[in-house]
């Protein structure tokens, strides 16, 4: 048996004190957690455990913070730490382990350089060495994709740069940006982008964790009003390998599904954000397609001042892809009546407006959830079969793309499937 596992197992079965329901390991983990979130100092932790040990002499409380950490490290929950430059230029690592100032910007390694006691580093990088080579050891073998390492793009890269690929400790980075306004057309006189840098070396359960943010950096970019789009060459092209990358960038699936679901919902509910307005119907007329959907003039007889008057009114014929008023209400009531279990952590019901004809304040995650789970069920009874079928296919396409594991064959099929869906739409 694995000795690390034995140690973990033993800790799990050790009561904190005789007849206590909590194990000593659980107590230790919780106590360290409280220490971290409240930023207790190590010495305050030591003082607390000392007091606890005096008060509860029969308990298995660790003697100090040092001992507590050592215990966690033994069972594989520890980490390695490397000091880093405050501005992320370099690591004080390997040959640079003894250097006191950053080689690039000359910033001190320590918070307080004059102190005689133990010096505190400005920045520490923590990781488990095992995790950093995970991409080399944890690849999928069953034809499914769980991580970018299982993708074609990664494998092509490895083939092209075998020297780089040979060393599993080499770092593979992913960079994400939000709030990007590439066309400069939102009339903002400034733009601040959030940029997050993460490493793909580690297993997905680490970098998909919401707390595992990389470095956030604000970039200021003021674009002159008259400047043309795409006047700048991305700085990434200065990277030697960039031009040969198969996949240079991709769009965040949550953003895309939000936009798509928003459009589908708006059109189906015929609310004021619907794109299916009179103008769109006039366009159809100008193009000479779908005559049943062209705006029509209806002559309405009205009685006014005891005289009969004829009034012309333009009406937009009902389209098969929008809900009828009664269905609109049925759909909203369906969403309102849905019961979700706790894990979903969202309350879509509250987003249905008072008249039960529209949604208000839906966030990206609500759209994501609506599209994957509720829309396919909701449209089935509210739209004609051929329209609901296509809508359901569209939702299924997004659902497949958002799975934690992707089947390579499924993805190949989805690629042809989406063309059909688009044609049907």
Q: At what angle do helices 375-382 and 385-401 cross, to 10 degrees?
A: 170
At residue 196, φ and ψ (nearest 5 deg) are -120, 130
Name the minimum Å distance from CB 107 to Zn ion: 5
Judged by CB under 5 A, the stretch of 71-79, 106-114, 180-188, 305-313 that binds Zn ion is 106-114
Asked if residue 105 binds Zn ion (CB under 5 A), the reply is yes
Window 64-103: residues binding Zn ion (CB under 5 A): 85, 87, 89, 102
Coil vs helix vs strand at 208: coil
Name the minimum Å distance from CB 242 to Zn ion: 24
Name the minimum Å distance from CB 413 to Zn ion: 49
Nearest to 299 by CA among 287, 314, 285: 314
Which of 12, 34, 104, 338 lies at the binding interface for Zn ion (CB under 5 A)? 104
Name the minimum Å distance from CB 87 to Zn ion: 5
Q: What are the CA-CA distances from residue 304 to residues 287, 299, 300, 309, 314 (Å)? A: 39, 15, 12, 7, 20
Cβ proximity to Zn ion: between 104 and 173 the closer is: 104
Name the minimum Å distance from CB 96 to Zn ion: 11
Write the interaction track for Zn ion spanning residues 31-70; mark x where CB under 5 A is met and - where it is not.
----------------------------------------
Name the minimum Å distance from CB 81 to Zn ion: 18
Q: Are 190 and 222 in contact (CB under 8 A)?
A: yes
Cβ proximity to Zn ion: between 105 and 175 the closer is: 105
Cβ proximity to Zn ion: between 92 and 134 the closer is: 92
Cβ proximity to Zn ion: between 85 and 406 the closer is: 85
Name the minimum Å distance from CB 105 to Zn ion: 3
Alpha carbons 41 and 19: distance in angstroms, whole number: 31
Question: Are β-strands 192-199 and 173-178 bridged in parallel, bridged antiparallel, or unpaired?
Answer: antiparallel
Strands (DSSP E) along 1-153, which ranges?
80-84, 91-92, 123-127, 144-145
Cβ proximity to Zn ion: between 59 and 101 the closer is: 101
- Binding-site size for Zn ion (CB under 5 A) equals 7
Cβ proximity to Zn ion: between 53 and 86 the closer is: 86
**Nearest 10 degrees: CA dihedral of 90, 96, 101, 106?**
-50
Q: How many Cβ atoms from other residues are within 10 Å of residue 257's Cβ? A: 24
Cβ proximity to Zn ion: between 105 and 177 the closer is: 105
Window 112-141: residues binding Zn ion (CB under 5 A): none
Q: How many Cβ atoms from other residues are within 10 Å of residue 196's Cβ? A: 14
Name the minimum Å distance from CB 98 to Zn ion: 16
Cβ proximity to Zn ion: between 87 and 212 the closer is: 87
Alpha carbons 4 and 72: distance in angstroms, whole number: 10
Alpha carbons 91 and 380: distance in angstroms, whole number: 57
Containing H/E element for 379? helix 375-382
In the complex, which residues of this chain contact Zn ion (CB under 5 A)?
85, 87, 89, 102, 104-105, 107
């Amino acid at each position: 048996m694995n000795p690390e596992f034995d140690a973990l197992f033993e800790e799990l079965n050790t009561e904190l004190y005789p007849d206590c329901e909590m194990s000593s390991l659980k107590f230790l983990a919780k106590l360290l957690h409280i220490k971290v979130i409240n930023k207790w100092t190590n010495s305050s932790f030591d003082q607390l455990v000392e007091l606890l040990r005096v008060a509860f002499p029969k308990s298995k409380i660790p003697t100090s913070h040092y001992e507590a950490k050592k215990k966690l490290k033994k069972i594989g929950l520890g980490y390695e730490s490397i000091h880093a430059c405050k501005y992320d230029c370099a690591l004080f690592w390997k040959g640079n382990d003894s250097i006191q100032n950053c080689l690039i910007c000359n910033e001190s390694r320590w918070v307080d350089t004059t102190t005689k006691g133990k010096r505190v580093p400005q920045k520490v990088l923590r990781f488990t060495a095992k995790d950093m080579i995970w991409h080399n050891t944890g690849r999928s073998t069953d034809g499914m994709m769980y991580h970018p390492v299982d993708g074609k793009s990664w494998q092509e890269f490895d083939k092209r740069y075998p020297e780089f690929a040979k060393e599993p400790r080499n770092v593979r980075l992913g960079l994400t940006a939000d709030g990007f306004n590439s066309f400069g057309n939102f009339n903002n006189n400034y733009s601040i982008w959030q940029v997050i840098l993460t490493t793909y070396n580690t297993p997905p359960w680490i970098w998909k964790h919401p707390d595992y943010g990389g470095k956030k950096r604000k970039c200021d970019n003021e674009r002159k009003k008259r400047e043309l789009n795409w006047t700048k060459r991305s700085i990434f092209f200065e990277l030697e390998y960039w031009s040969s990358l198969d996949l240079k960038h991709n769009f965040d699936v949550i953003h895309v599904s939000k936009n798509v679901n928003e459009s589908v919902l708006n059109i189906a509910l015929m609310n004021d954000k619907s794109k299916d307005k009179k103008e769109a119907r006039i366009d159809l007329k100008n193009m000479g397609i779908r005559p049943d959907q062209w705006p029509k003039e209806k002559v309405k007889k009205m009685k006014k001042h005891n005289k009969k008057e004829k009034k012309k009114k333009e009406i937009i014929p009902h389209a098969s892809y929008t809900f009828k008023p009664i269905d609109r209400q049925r759909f909203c009531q369906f969403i309102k009546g849905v019961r979700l279990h706790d894990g979903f952590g969202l309350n879509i019901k509250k987003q249905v407006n008072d008249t039960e004809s529209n949604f208000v304040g839906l966030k990206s995650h609500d759209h994501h959830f609506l599209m994957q789970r509720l829309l396919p069920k909701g449209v089935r009874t509210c739209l004609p079969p051929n329209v609901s079928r296509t809508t359901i296919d569209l939702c299924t396409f997004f659902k497949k793309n958002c799975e934690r594991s992707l089947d390579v064959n499924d993805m190949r099929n989805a690629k042809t499937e989406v063309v059909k869906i688009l044609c049907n739409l």
